[in-house]
């Protein structure tokens, strides 16, 4: 008898349920016209070296060939790469030395293939507690490296600044100093505490209205040095209100992995561009959707992207900072890497039922170039965990 193609997934309370994978993937060929109506960055993950003898709290061992190959995959579909960001495990397995090497290698690769790249600038080389001067110097060191590499800078939210700043004025002074130094317009990054609990009260207040006012004051003081803002608060109404208050020419890049289709589509008053971790697994489909939007067909754009929100909400559910585990898991199932291993051992951060549901949702969307390979790898993971197949 022919072995059935079904996969037995965890059903809770020790039981299993049968899932039948798709026969065909959703075809999204590489290439195509450049994206024109929106600027779209995918925040890309790093691929660990599974053969390296490392400890969870030691320096990361990165498979550079596989990591750069994944970036070429994203560029081939017309997406920009947001490098060395949260998705790449900055501060959660990847230290500044590793991030610096990642920036240098990816920026050189972007130049070689003509891909767009923007890189995170932070303060993660610091040991807390730190002084305000040390925070600025750490930012300056990273900004200099990113600019020397020929990449656009993303001024990331800083744990050290959040721990050191005593008032909104301290944020304004720090960012003003950095913006005056930047040689090209940067993207300002506001990551909410759901992504990193150490960033609570950023911009000097736990009151988001007050924090927003400070954020906008920083931008208004240096509009020629701010290409845009990347906002990740998972609050669509707040993002829309904020983007309507931006100075002319300053873009809003949504980082909202819960509401991105509606925010990118926009309304009569404007729209958001995108800088999203979910566009790591959704890369080809996201690019196809934006090309449809380029034609002005908002309805067809939403028809492509709206069904992906359930998967995104699943991957980014609380504790949100562990969404990276699901992102790398899907990259393994999709054949972009040969293993499900993460720097810092973070592959253990999500449960087997969580991963099984991610597989089912992604397969239903047709995200896997080879559904048979994805099913085989899913079965192997389940078998290791004692789920018979």
Tokens of 312: 């995104």
Q: Residue 16's pLDDT is what? A: 93
Exposure class string for 274-313: b at 16+ Cβ within 10 A, else e:
bbbbbbbbbbbbbbbbbbbbeeeeeeebbebbeebbebbe
**pLDDT of 187-227, one tens digit each?**
999 999 999 999 999 999 999 999 999 999 999 999 999 99
Rounded distance between C-alpha atoms, residue 46 and residue 102, angstroms: 9
User: What mean pLDDT comes out for the span 333-351?
Assistant: 97
User: What mean pLDDT comes out for the span 330-346?
Assistant: 97
User: What mean pLDDT comes out for the span 74-89?
Assistant: 97
**pLDDT of 270-307, one tens digit each?**
999 999 999 999 999 999 999 999 999 999 999 999 99
User: What mean pLDDT comes out for the span 156-176?
Assistant: 97
User: What mean pLDDT comes out for the span 153-162?
Assistant: 97
Per-residue pLDDT band for 3 (boundaries 50, 70, 90) equals very low
Q: Residue 135's pLDDT is what? A: 98
Residues 182, 183, 187: CA angle, nearest 5 degrees = 55
Q: Residue 1's pLDDT is what? A: 36
Q: Residue 148's pLDDT is what? A: 98
Tokens of 43: 């925040």
User: What mean pLDDT comes out for the span 35-44?
Assistant: 98
pLDDT surpassing 80 at residue 28? no
pLDDT surpassing 80 at residue 112? yes
User: What mean pLDDT comes out for the span 246-262?
Assistant: 98
Question: For residues 162, 163, 169 and 170, what is the CA-based torsion angle, rounded to 10 degrees?
Answer: -100
Q: Residue 209's pLDDT is what? A: 97
User: What is the C-alpha R_g of the chain?
Assistant: 21
Q: Residue 4's pLDDT is what? A: 47
Q: Residue 25's pLDDT is what? A: 81
Q: Residue 61's pLDDT is what? A: 97
- Higher-scoring residue by pLDDT: 2, 109: 109
> Are 25 and 368 contacting, i.e. CB atoms less than 8 angstroms apart?
yes
Q: Residue 190's pLDDT is what? A: 96
Mean of pLDDT over the chain: 96
Please tell me the chain's helix, strand, coil percentages from 3-state DSSP, rounded to the nearest 5: 50, 15, 40
pLDDT surpassing 90 at residue 165? yes
pLDDT surpassing 80 at residue 255? yes
Q: Residue 13's pLDDT is what? A: 79
pLDDT surpassing 80 at residue 131? yes
**DSSP one-letter code for 223:** G
**pLDDT of 361-383, one tens digit each?**
999 999 999 999 999 999 999 99
Q: What distance lies between CA 98 and its chain's CA centroid?
A: 17
> Are 232 and 190 contacting, i.e. CB atoms less than 8 angstroms apart?
yes
């Amino acid at each position: 008898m022919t072995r059935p193609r079904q996969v037995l997934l965890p059903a809770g309370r020790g039981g299993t349920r049968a899932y039948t994978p798709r026969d065909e993937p959703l075809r999204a060929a590489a290439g195509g016209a450049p994206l024109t109506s929106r600027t779209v960055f995918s925040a890309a993950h790093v691929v660990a070296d599974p053969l390296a003898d490392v400890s969870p709290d030691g320096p990361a061992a990165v498979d550079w060939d596989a990591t750069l190959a994944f970036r070429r995959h994203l560029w081939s579909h017309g997406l920009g790469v947001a490098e060395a960001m949260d998705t790449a495990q900055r501060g959660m397995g990847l230290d500044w030395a590793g991030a610096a090497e990642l920036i240098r290698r990816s920026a050189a690769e972007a130049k070689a293939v003509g891909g767009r790249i923007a890189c995170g600038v932070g303060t993660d080389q610091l040991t807390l507690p730190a002084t305000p001067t040390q925070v600025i110097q750490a930012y300056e060191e990273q900004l200099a490296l990113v600019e020397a590499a020929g990449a656009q800078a993303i001024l990331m939210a800083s744990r050290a600044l959040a721990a050191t700043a005593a008032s909104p004025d301290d944020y304004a002074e720090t960012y003003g100093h950095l913006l005056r130094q930047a040689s090209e317009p940067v993207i300002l990054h506001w990551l909410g505490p759901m992504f990193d609990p150490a960033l609570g009260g950023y911009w000097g207040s736990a009151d988001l209205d007050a924090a927003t006012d400070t954020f906008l004051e920083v931008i208004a003081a240096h509009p020629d040095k701010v290409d845009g803002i990347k906002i990740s608060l998972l609050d669509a109404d707040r993002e829309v209100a904020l983007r309507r208050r931006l100075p002319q020419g300053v873009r809003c890049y949504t980082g909202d992995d819960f509401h991105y289709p509606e925010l990118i589509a926009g309304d009569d008053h404007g729209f958001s561009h995108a800088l999203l971790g979910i566009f790591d697994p959704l890369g080809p489909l996201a690019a196809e959707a934006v090309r449809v939007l380029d034609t002005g067909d908002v309805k067809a754009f939403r028809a492509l992207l709206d069904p992906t929100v359930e998967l995104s909400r699943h991957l980014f559910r609380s504790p949100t900072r562990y969404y990276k585990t699901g992102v790398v898991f899907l990259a393994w199932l999709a054949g972009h890497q040969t293993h499900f291993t993460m720097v810092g051992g973070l592959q253990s951060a999500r449960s087997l039922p969580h991963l099984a549901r991610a597989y089912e949702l992604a397969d239903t969307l047709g995200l896997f170039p080879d559904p048979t390979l994805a099913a085989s790898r899913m079965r192997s993971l389940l078998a290791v965990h004692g789920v018979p197949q």
